[in-house]
Each structure stands twice: as C-alpha cells, then as structure tokens.
Amino acid sequence: MNSPESSLVLDVLAGVSEEEHRVLARIASTPSGVPATLLEAKPLAELLSRFPNTLRQDNGSGMVRFERPDLAKLFAEAIERGGLAGNAVRHVGGSTALIERIFAAQARGENEEALRLFREGGGVFFMHFHGLDACSRVLRRFPEGMRTKEPLLVFARSMHALKSGNVSRARYLMAERFGPEANDLRHLLSRPQSFSLDLCLFRFLMAMYEDTPISDAMCEKLFDLLGQVPLDDHLQRGSFYNAMLEVQVRKRELDAAMEIAQRARFHYEQANAHLLGFYIDLYLSILNLMRGELPAAAEHAGEANTKLAKVPFETKSDERLIGLVNAVIHYEQGDIEALVHFLNEEFDGFAYGELWPTVAELAINYGGQALSRHIAVAAARVYLDRWRVQEWRSNRFRLVITLREAAILQTGNRWQEATDLLAAVKSRINRTWVESAVETLSRLADPQEIALVMAWLRHLIWEIPTRLILRDQLSELLKNNHLTARQAITLQVWMAHLARVNRDVSTARASLLKALEASGRLGAIMQLVEEADMLKKLLENERIREFVLASGDARKVIRKLRVLDSPVSEGPRKAGLTRQEIKVLYLVAEGRTNKHIARQLGLAEVTVKFHVSNIYRKIGCRRRAEAVATAKALGWVA
C-alpha cells in the first residue's frame, strides 16, 4: 500500500482510540453497513462527528457505512495488514500477529510450536477470539494425522462444527477420535478416572447444543470435575458455567440460572472474551423474558449489543441471535412488525446456524404466536414444521413444538385438532389425569408437566367452563412455586373467566385486576394477548370493566393490548350464533360428524343436529360444506 490514499488511511488509524479502532474494523468488514445498535455508541458518535465525509448513518435504517465502497476497501486492507497494531483481536497474548506466527510455524513444519501458539490464542475457543474463518484456516494447515489425533485440535474442530450449526459433524469427530462412548456423557461421568478432564468438560459443553438431559446426579459429578480446574483458567470455568446455565434454564430453575450466569460472566470478563461474554448477556436477556421482566431483558440485550460491538470480526450468526431477542422485546412492547420481519428475512440463516435449545424455544414460542395471530394459523404451522428438522430432536424439544402448535390451534378455534395433538404426547399428564387432579397440581415440579397441565386445562375451560372442579384446580395450581410469572398471570385470567361464566363478579374482578397489574409490573403483555378472547368478554361486563379501569396500572396494560390487532373474529357473534353454536361450527369446520361433536361437547346427538340447523338458518346456508366455506370466507375459522 504505497498510494497517497493508503498512507492517509494509515494516518487515520494511527490517530484513533482503541474503541474507535474496533468500530472502524467492524464497519470496514461489512461494506453493506452495520446496524448502529451493534456498535459501541460513544466511539461511533465520535467517528461520525470527526469524519462526516467518510462515514454516514442512514436515518431510516440506522445502518452505518463508509460513504464509498472504495473507502471501505482501503480501510479493510489497512486493518488486515496490521493497521490496528494488535488491537484487532483482543486476548491474552493474542492478535492478528499471532495468526501469522502460527502460519509461519506451520510453514516451517514446526507444528508443536504452532499448537502451543494455538493454545495461547484460545485453544478450543480460538474462533471466539479470531473468528470462524481464521480458525478454519489455522486448523486446515495442521497435518491430517495431527488434526485427527491431537485432542485439542479435535475439540477445536468439533467446536467449529457446533458453531457452524452442524451437531452431527461434531459427534462424528468426537467418536472418530475417542470412540463411540465419547458421545455418551453419562458414561463418561460414571468413569471419570478413565477419561481426561478436558474430554469430560468439552463433552458437557457439547451437551448444551444437543439438548441432552442432565440429571441432578450428573450435575453433582460435573461440579466435582470443576474442582479440578485451576481458579485462573477463566475460559474453562466460564464455559462450564455457560453450559450449566442451559441445564438450569431447562429445569426452569431461573434463580439458580441467574446466579450461574453471573459466575460465567465474571470468568469471561477476566479472559477478555467479548464474544463469549455476549452469550451470557444474551442468556440473561432470555431469562428475564421467561420471567416476564421486560425492562431487565432490554437492559441485558443492550449489554449484549455492546459486547458484540467489541468483537472485531463479522459474526452473522450472533447478530441474528441478538436480532431475535431484540425483535421479541419489541413484540412484547407492541411492535409486531419487527418479529414478523425477522422471521421472514432471517429464519433460514438463524435456524440452521449455531443454535442451542433455549434460544430455539424462544423462537418457536414467539414466532409461532406472532405468525398465528398476525399472519395465519397455516403459516404458523409451516413455521413449526420447519423446526422439526433440527438435528437434536429430543423429546423435550418435540414437546415444545407440540405445545406451541396446540396453543396456536386452540387460539384459532381448532380445538379438536389441538386435543388430538395433546393426546398423542407420551406422558402421565393426559386428559384423564388432569380432569381429576386437584391437590397434586400444587406439587408438580417438572416444567414440561406443568405446561402440559395448562394446555389440557385450557381445553377443559373452553369445553365445559361450568365444571366446579376447574376453579379448585386453578387455585391449587396457583399455589405451585414452580410456576413462571407468565403462567401465574394466565391462570388469573382463567380464574376471572370461570368466575364470570359462573356469575361470580367479585372474584372475576379481583382475578382480572391481579392479572393486569402483574403484567404491568413485569412490562410484558404477550401472556394476555394469548387470552384475548377471554379478556374481551371480561371487559364487556360493565361491572368488571369499571372496577379494573379504576387502576391506573391496569388501564396502561389495556391500552397496550388495544395497540395490537386482535385476530378474534366478531363475525359469529354478529351473525347471532350462540356460544354453543359457535363451538359446534368450529368442530364442523374441522370435519367432525354430529356423533363425534356430541361426544366431544357432552351433548345428545339430536341437540347437535338442532344447533347445526340453527347455524344454517342464521348464516343462510343449506348444506354442511356450504356452511364451512362461508365461515372460512368470512374469516371465522382458519
């Protein structure tokens, strides 16, 4: 680079701070532009102020880019050739110069020296400091025999596969080097003296991506292994806590998960590992979304953005991860378009890149809800079907998809299809169990079983809301200490609905107010949006409405709910159909016979025929197919 322009670029790089170096490196590596939210705010503002003819930020999209592509190329070349003087990659003993030293050692055939430098540069986590491409180039230059036999390189290649979204490739590499038992974490932990500490701990980290069940006994053995890790091995200890964080989230032990996240965060900060620290703040944001604590979720998402901005290389998969979380937060605040846009534009790159189950669960639940309510039930079901191709299709993951699909069908008034889905789940928590359970509901601890119970209760509340046992069941379930805040709010809405149906206005008012005020405190409203039909009927009651509107917090939540377009159709009501006739119409639209409908609703078959005749008369039809076609055309059924 001897041109005057190149010299000028080098002068610019020599005169900016380390933080500004990082921002320039990020922008130069992405000529199409970088969202301002992914860049450090203070150095970005300084650069935009000092170089108004070189950098610009679009007012609409917020993208930051160089004014001309040739400028971006000049800066990128200068940075690639060392213009950042070692600041491009921040790690103890690591910089772009380190990669060149590794290449030089490999070229001389000094592969043990190259391996030593690779270990210094992060080892298993080399790619988190230097990027996937740089890591791949380094790994490819080691001799084949060394790549397949040296444990550190096998771990690094497996981690590369995991970060690329290829779990099966990682499992193959592990089995090829260590034997098939290496892919059985339970077996490794049962004989820890027979396997290396590094193998056991890396295999635990892999389990995070595979959705492998981790029992309490396995956790105890894993913590015993952690005791062998030096206190100053911050990467190893941080990554152990990172994996254990996923275990606690799956168990819905959210308080324990928050504590473990802070430990992981501490170790990653000590290691100056910005990208790994980004994952912890991403997790903390998701944890707070699960708890329904929106302000805290937004705060940690902001911190995750800041950490990602410090990463000097492009990492699209991680930008998509934080993009999903940001879109979900906007959705909770009433901005529907951000999440729908993300699902339409980013799904393929997101779902088939690096991913672990907790993030997938977030995408499944929010994506399914958004598409079903604001696009179509069919679109939501196609979306869920695409998730079923994930390599780590564990029973837990399949249940997450099934429960979301059942909720979508219930919201779309396709109750029989939802029942068929739930009935196919292999669990002791079936319809018969739920129909008779009362005291045991307060003692349930498994989050999957609690979710199944709630899915069945939702169906039973729709089917026969006058069953007296239902109110007792909800009361018992509300005593359960393992409920999330969102689930407790949902149960309060159901309590209010049942009280209204049974003409207990006082209880209806009190329960609804609790639900609305709790949502207001959390800042999250999606659990209410899912019960939009019940809420609408509750607020149509003047005595209930006036009572809850006396609360300022409740009024704010109701205003937020009204911002969202409700998909609940008023057509059947306006056509004069009774509540029972609407139920019959929904089941007719699902293709059910009169005999089946009678059994489903607990009616005599002659009563069902009477309801069907009334439906024909009220909507001006003569035949079953004509009634279904009319209901679909009017948007009454999906």
Q: Which tens digits make up the pLDDT trace of 367-382?
A: 888 877 766 677 788 7
Give tens-digit pLDDT for 505-555.
999 999 999 999 998 888 778 888 888 889 999 999 999 999 999 998 898
374 and 480 fall within a common domain: no
Measuring CA to CA, which residue among 361, 323, 372 is closest to residue 345? 323
Question: In this structure, what token pair is assigned to residue 614?
Answer: 């009334």
Q: Is the pLDDT of residue 203 over 80?
A: yes
Domain endpoint, select from 252, 280, 313: 313
User: What average pLDDT does range 267-273 have in this prediction?
Assistant: 91
251 and 336 fall within a common domain: no
**Which of 279-288, 300-309, 361-370, 616-625 has the weakest average pLDDT?**
616-625
What per-residue confidence (pLDDT) applies to 533? 86
One DSSP character per residue, 150-175 reads -HHHHHHHHHHHHHTT-HHHHHHHHH
In this structure, which long-range contacts are made by residues 325-329, counting pairs with CB atoms below 8 Å and at least 24 apart in sequence? 325/282, 325/285, 325/286, 325/289, 325/297, 325/301, 325/362, 326/37, 326/301, 328/289, 328/362, 328/366, 329/285, 329/289, 329/294, 329/297, 329/298, 329/301
What per-residue confidence (pLDDT) applies to 575? 66
Measuring CA to CA, which residue among 126, 87, 121, 84 is closest to residue 101? 121
What per-residue confidence (pLDDT) applies to 568? 42
User: Could you give the angle at the alpha carbon of 320 between the alpha carbons of 317 and 322, nearest 5°?
Assistant: 115
Q: Distance (Å, rounded) from C-alpha 269 to C-alpha 188?
A: 30
Which residues contact residue 59 at a Cβ distance below 8 angstroms, ignoring those fewer than 6 apart?
none
Residue 511's Cβ-side half-sphere holds a number of Cα atoms within 13 Å equal to 25
**Which of 8-22, 284-298, 407-421, 612-626 has the weakest average pLDDT?**
8-22
Helix and strand totals (H; E) in the chain: 38, 3
What per-residue confidence (pLDDT) applies to 89? 34
282 and 324 fall within a common domain: no
Task: Please indicate, yes or no, if residue 11 is contained in any of the structural domains.
Answer: yes
Query: What are residue 310's phi and psi, to 5 degrees?
Result: -85, -10
Task: Please indicate, yes or no, if residue 538 is contained in any of the structural domains.
Answer: yes
What per-residue confidence (pLDDT) applies to 361? 84
Query: Is the model more confident about 524 or about 310?
Result: 310
Query: What are residue 64's phi and psi, to 5 degrees?
Result: -110, 130
The rounded mean pLDDT for the chain is: 85
Q: Which domain holds residue 58?
A: 4-83
Band (pLDDT 50/70/90 cuts) for residue 475 is very high
Domain endpoint, select from 57, 83, 109: 83
217 and 289 fall within a common domain: yes
User: What average pLDDT does range 163-172 have in this prediction?
Assistant: 88
Task: Please indicate, yes or no, if residue 429 is contained in any of the structural domains.
Answer: yes
CATH classification of the domain holding 193: 1.25.40.10
**Residue 64 pairs with which residues in a beta bridge?**
34, 57
Query: What burial letters (b/e) apply to 521-541, b meaning 16+ CB within 10 Å?
Result: ebbbbbbbbbbbbbbebbeeb
Percentage of the residues of the chain whose pLDDT score is greater than 90 = 41
501 and 515 fall within a common domain: yes
In this structure, which long-range contacts are made by residues 2-5, counting pairs with CB atoms below 8 Å and at least 24 apart in sequence? 5/74
CB 235 within 8 A of CB 257: no
Burial class (CB in 10 A: 0-12, 13-18, 19+), 562: exposed
What per-residue confidence (pLDDT) applies to 484? 86
Percentage of the residues of the chain whose pLDDT score is greater than 70 = 90
Q: Distance (Å, rounded) from C-alpha 109 to C-alpha 114?
A: 9
**Residue 91 pairs with which residues in a beta bridge?**
94
DSSP 8-class letter at 34? E
User: What average pLDDT does range 258-264 have in this prediction?
Assistant: 93
DSSP 8-class letter at 567? -
What per-residue confidence (pLDDT) applies to 571? 59
605 and 503 fall within a common domain: no
Task: Please indicate, yes or no, if residue 179 is contained in any of the structural domains.
Answer: no
CB 291 within 8 A of CB 489: no
Task: Please indicate, yes or no, if residue 91 is contained in any of the structural domains.
Answer: no
Task: Please indicate, yes or no, if residue 553 is contained in any of the structural domains.
Answer: yes
What per-residue confidence (pLDDT) applies to 190? 92
Task: Please indicate, yes or no, if residue 499 is contained in any of the structural domains.
Answer: yes
What per-residue confidence (pLDDT) applies to 86? 34
548 and 585 fall within a common domain: no
DSSP 8-class letter at 566? P
539 and 457 fall within a common domain: yes
263 and 385 fall within a common domain: no
**Which of 217-231, 344-358, 582-596 has the weakest average pLDDT?**
344-358
Which residues contact residue 543 at a Cβ distance below 8 angstroms, ignoring those fewer than 6 apart?
505, 509
- Provide the 3-class DSSP secondary structure of residue 66: strand
Which residues contact residue 31 at a Cβ distance below 8 angstroms, ignoring those fewer than 6 apart?
65, 66, 69, 72, 73
Q: Is the pLDDT of residue 82 over 60?
A: no
Maximum CA extent, the chain: 93
Query: Is the model more confident about 422 or about 29?
Result: 422
What per-residue confidence (pLDDT) applies to 240? 96
Q: Distance (Å, rounded) from C-alpha 2 to C-alpha 14?
A: 16
The number of folded domains in the chain is 5
What per-residue confidence (pLDDT) applies to 572? 65
Domain endpoint, select from 566, 589, 621: 566
Task: Please indicate, yes or no, if residue 137 is contained in any of the structural domains.
Answer: no
CB 278 within 8 A of CB 304: yes
Band (pLDDT 50/70/90 cuts) for residue 88 is very low
What per-residue confidence (pLDDT) applies to 532? 85
440 and 543 fall within a common domain: yes
CB 142 within 8 A of CB 106: yes
- Across 392-452, where does the E strand assignment appear? none
Give tens-digit pLDDT for 560-608.
777 664 444 555 665 678 778 887 888 888 788 888 888 877 788 888 8
304 and 390 fall within a common domain: no
One-letter amino acid of 64: V
Query: Is the model more confident about 82 or about 403?
Result: 403
Question: In this structure, what token pair is assigned to residue 560?
Answer: 């937020």
Give tens-digit pLDDT for 385-429.
878 765 555 677 788 889 999 998 998 888 999 999 999 999 999
Q: Distance (Å, rounded) from C-alpha 604 to C-alpha 12?
A: 84
Query: Is the model more confident about 76 or about 301?
Result: 301
CATH classification of the domain holding 73: 1.10.10.10
What per-residue confidence (pLDDT) applies to 563? 61
User: What average pLDDT does range 200-220 have in this prediction?
Assistant: 90
Q: Distance (Å, rounded) from C-alpha 112 to C-alpha 150?
A: 10
464 and 545 fall within a common domain: yes
